[in-house]
Structure 1
Amino acid sequence: MTDPGPHVENVATDSHVAVQAGTVHVDAIYMTTPHDPPETKFRAGVSFLKGRMPGPARHLINEARVGYATNEVYFYWLLAMVSGRTRHELTKDEIAQLRDRRAIMRLSGEDPWRDGVRIIDRLLESAGKPEEDIRVVVKDLDALREPQRSLILEHLELYLEGPIEDHLWRLALTKARTEQMAGGRKDRIWKFFHPAPKEPLPWIPRPPDIPLSTRAGAVTAAVTLVMATAYLGHLILQTGRILLVLAYTLGVAGAYVGARNAADWHFRVVRRRAKDRQYLGPTTKAERGSFAKRAEHRIDHYFATYLPPGVDRDNWMVHTRGIRCSLRDELAEVYGETRAGVERIAWLIRHRASDASTRQREGTLWSYRAELATPTRTKALAILGVLTLAGAGGWAAIGAVPVEPLRAIGAITLLLISAWVGARAWLHIVLERRRYAADQLESDQTLKSDLAALDRWRAKMADKPRDEEIADWLDCDRKVLLDKALRHYRLTMSHVIAHAFIEAPARSSARARMRGGPWRYKKYQLLVFLITQEGVRQLTVTLDFLNATFHDEQRLNYRFEAVASVQVSQSDNDERTFELTLVNGDKISVEVSSGFEDLQQDENPGRVSEVSLDAAGLPHTLHVLEGIAAEGKGWVEQQELRTGHLTAALADHA
Structure 2
Amino acid sequence: MTEWDADARQVLITDGNAYVDTQIGVLHGDAHIYQVAGNATPEEQFRVAVNYLHGGLPDEARRRIRTAVMESGLRSAEVAYRWTLAVLSGRRLADLDADDFAALDHAFAMAEDQPSGRFWRCTAVIQRFVGALSDIGPDGRPNPLSCAEAMRCHAELPENDRVEIERHLDQFLAHILEDDAEQHNSERVRAARMAGDRRTRVPKFFEPDPAPPVRKVPVPTPPGTAWRPLAAAAGIALFALWVLLAALAEVSVLAVLLVPVLLGTGGWYAGRHLMERAYLRSRRDAKEAELVRGERSAIERPGNSAPEEGFTETVTAMIDAAFSQRQPADHRRDAFWRETWGLRAALHGDLVDLYAFSGLPAASVAWLVNHHADDIARRWKAGGLDDFRHDRATAPMAPPAFLGGLTALVGAAVISVLTLLGSQFFALLLTAGMLYAAARVGRHGAMVLYGERRRIALDTAEFDRRWEAEQTAHQRRVAWLADRPTDVEMGQWLALDLAYFKRGAMVESRLTSQEVFTHVILTEAAPGTVRARFVGGPFRHSAYTVLLFLLTGGGVRKVQARLEFASGKFVGEQRENFQYRSIVTAKVKEVSVRFDDGQPRVLSDDAEAVQRDKVVRREALELALFDGSKIRVLVDHFGAETIDRLRESPEDLAGLARESSGVSGALRVLEAVAGEGKEWIALELGRTYRRLARRRSMPSAEQTRRITVPPTPRGPHHRQAPGETPGTAVRHRRSGP
Q: TM-score, normalised by structure 1?
A: 0.86
The equivalent of 1:607 in structure 2 is: 652
The equivalent of 2:501 in structure 1 is: 481
Q: Structure 1 residues 67-76 or 200-209, which shifts more?
A: 200-209
The equivalent of 1:13 in structure 2 is: none
Query: For 1:542, which of 537, 546, 562 is the aligned residue?
Result: 562
Inter-partner Cα distance in structure 1 for 2:502 and 2:417:
102
Inter-partner Cα distance in structure 2 for 1:589 and 1:115:
42
Q: Which amino acid aligns with 1:175?
A: R
Larger RCO: 1 or 2 (CA < 8 Å, sep 6+): 1
State whether structure 2 residue 644 is matched by structure 1 residue 638.
Answer: no
The equivalent of 2:621 in structure 1 is: 578
Deviation at 1:113, TM superposition (A): 0.9
The 1:315–1:637 alpha-carbon spacing in structure 2 relative to 1, beyond 3 Å, is same
The 1:18–1:399 alpha-carbon spacing in structure 2 relative to 1, beyond 3 Å, is same
Deviation at 1:615, TM superposition (A): 1.5
Partner deviation per Cα, 1:460-492 (whole Å, 9 max, x = no partner): 111111111000111122122212321222112
Deviation at 1:444, TM superposition (A): 1.5
Q: Which amino acid aligns with 1:47?
A: N
Inter-partner Cα distance in structure 1 for 2:261 and 2:643:
76
Inter-partner Cα distance in structure 2 for 1:402 and 1:182:
102
- Tell me, yes or no, if the aligned pair for 1:258 and 1:381 is still in contact at 8 Å: yes
Q: Structure 1 residues 457-466 or 570-579, which shifts more?
A: 570-579
The equivalent of 1:263 in structure 2 is: 275
Inter-partner Cα distance in structure 2 for 1:205 and 1:224:
34
- Tell me, yes or no, if the aligned pair for 2:591 and 2:617 is still in contact at 8 Å: yes
State whether structure 2 residue 667 is matched by structure 1 residue 622.
Answer: yes
SS in 1 for 2:85: helix
Deviation at 1:208, TM superposition (A): 3.8
The equivalent of 1:157 in structure 2 is: 170
- Tell me, yes or no, if the aligned pair for 1:87 and 1:646 is still in contact at 8 Å: no
Deviation at 1:549, TM superposition (A): 2.0
The 1:394–1:318 alpha-carbon spacing in structure 2 relative to 1, beyond 3 Å, is farther
The equivalent of 1:44 in structure 2 is: 48
- Tell me, yes or no, if the aligned pair for 1:261 and 1:378 is still in contact at 8 Å: no
Alignment of 1:419-458 (within 5 A): 419-458=439-478
SS in 1 for 2:511: coil
SS in 1 for 2:276: helix
Q: Which amino acid aligns with 1:626?
A: E
Inter-partner Cα distance in structure 1 for 2:178 and 2:50:
24
The equivalent of 1:560 in structure 2 is: 580
Inter-partner Cα distance in structure 2 for 1:575 and 1:27:
27
The equivalent of 1:5 in structure 2 is: none
Alignment of 1:4-83 (within 5 A): 18-31=22-35, 37-66=41-70, 67-83=73-89
State whether structure 2 residue 92 is matched by structure 1 residue 86.
Answer: yes
Partner deviation per Cα, 1:622-645 (whole Å, 9 max, x = no partner): 121111001001102212333444
The 1:422–1:515 alpha-carbon spacing in structure 2 relative to 1, beyond 3 Å, is same
Equivalenced residues, count: 635
Inter-partner Cα distance in structure 2 for 1:312 and 1:535:
61
State whether structure 2 residue 549 is matched by structure 1 residue 529.
Answer: yes
Deviation at 1:220, TM superposition (A): 4.4
The equivalent of 2:161 in structure 1 is: 148
Q: Which amino acid aligns with 2:286?
A: A
Query: For 1:184, which of 177, 194, 197 is the aligned residue?
Result: 197
Partner deviation per Cα, 1:187-220 (whole Å, 9 max, x = no partner): 1112222222222112221214322x32344244
Deviation at 1:506, TM superposition (A): 2.0
The equivalent of 1:124 in structure 2 is: 130
Partner deviation per Cα, 1:210-243 (whole Å, 9 max, x = no partner): 22x3234424423531442354255357566999
State whether structure 2 residue 174 is matched by structure 1 residue 174.
Answer: no
The equivalent of 1:228 in structure 2 is: 240
Q: Which amino acid aligns with 2:643?
A: L
Inter-partner Cα distance in structure 2 for 1:372 and 1:297:
37
Deviation at 1:20, TM superposition (A): 1.7
SS in 1 for 2:483: coil
Partner deviation per Cα, 1:508-531 (whole Å, 9 max, x = no partner): 432112222211111212111111
The 1:537–1:34 alpha-carbon spacing in structure 2 relative to 1, beyond 3 Å, is farther
Inter-partner Cα distance in structure 1 for 2:203 and 2:550:
31
Partner deviation per Cα, 1:535-590 (whole Å, 9 max, x = no partner): 11111222222222223333222111111100001369873111000122111122
Q: Which amino acid aligns with 1:107?
A: D
Inter-partner Cα distance in structure 2 for 1:36 and 1:256:
69
- Tell me, yes or no, if the aligned pair for 2:270 and 2:405 is still in contact at 8 Å: yes
- Tell me, yes or no, if the aligned pair for 1:195 and 1:343 is still in contact at 8 Å: yes
Inter-partner Cα distance in structure 2 for 1:324 and 1:60:
50
SS in 2 for 1:628: helix
Partner deviation per Cα, 1:330-372 (whole Å, 9 max, x = no partner): 1111112223122111111122222334445666554444455
Partner deviation per Cα, 1:49-96 (whole Å, 9 max, x = no partner): 111111121122123234111110111111111111111111123235
State whether structure 2 residue 328 is matched by structure 1 residue 322.
Answer: no
Inter-partner Cα distance in structure 2 for 1:491 and 1:90:
26
The 1:467–1:248 alpha-carbon spacing in structure 2 relative to 1, beyond 3 Å, is closer
The equivalent of 2:487 in structure 1 is: 467
The 1:310–1:511 alpha-carbon spacing in structure 2 relative to 1, beyond 3 Å, is same
Inter-partner Cα distance in structure 2 for 1:141 and 1:54:
22
Deviation at 1:259, TM superposition (A): 1.9
Greater percentage in helix: 1
Alignment of 1:332-411 (within 5 A): 332-360=352-380, 365-378=385-398, 393=413, 400=420, 403-411=423-431
State whether structure 2 residue 643 is matched by structure 1 residue 594.
Answer: no
Identity percentage over the alignment? 27
Inter-partner Cα distance in structure 2 for 1:293 and 1:394:
66
- Tell me, yes or no, if the aligned pair for 1:95 and 1:650 is still in contact at 8 Å: no
SS in 1 for 2:357: coil
The 1:231–1:141 alpha-carbon spacing in structure 2 relative to 1, beyond 3 Å, is farther
Q: Structure 1 residues 39-48 or 308-317, which shifts more?
A: 308-317
The 1:352–1:20 alpha-carbon spacing in structure 2 relative to 1, beyond 3 Å, is same
Q: Which amino acid aligns with 1:482?
A: K
Partner deviation per Cα, 1:286-336 (whole Å, 9 max, x = no partner): xxx853332122123223334689995544333322211111111111112
Q: TM-score, normalised by structure 2?
A: 0.77
Partner deviation per Cα, 1:166-201 (whole Å, 9 max, x = no partner): 455334422221122111111111222222222211
SS in 2 for 1:633: helix
Deviation at 1:500, TM superposition (A): 0.7
Partner deviation per Cα, 1:94-126 (whole Å, 9 max, x = no partner): 235546864464431421111211222233345
Q: Which amino acid aligns with 1:267?
A: Y
- Tell me, yes or no, if the aligned pair for 2:277 and 2:394 is still in contact at 8 Å: yes
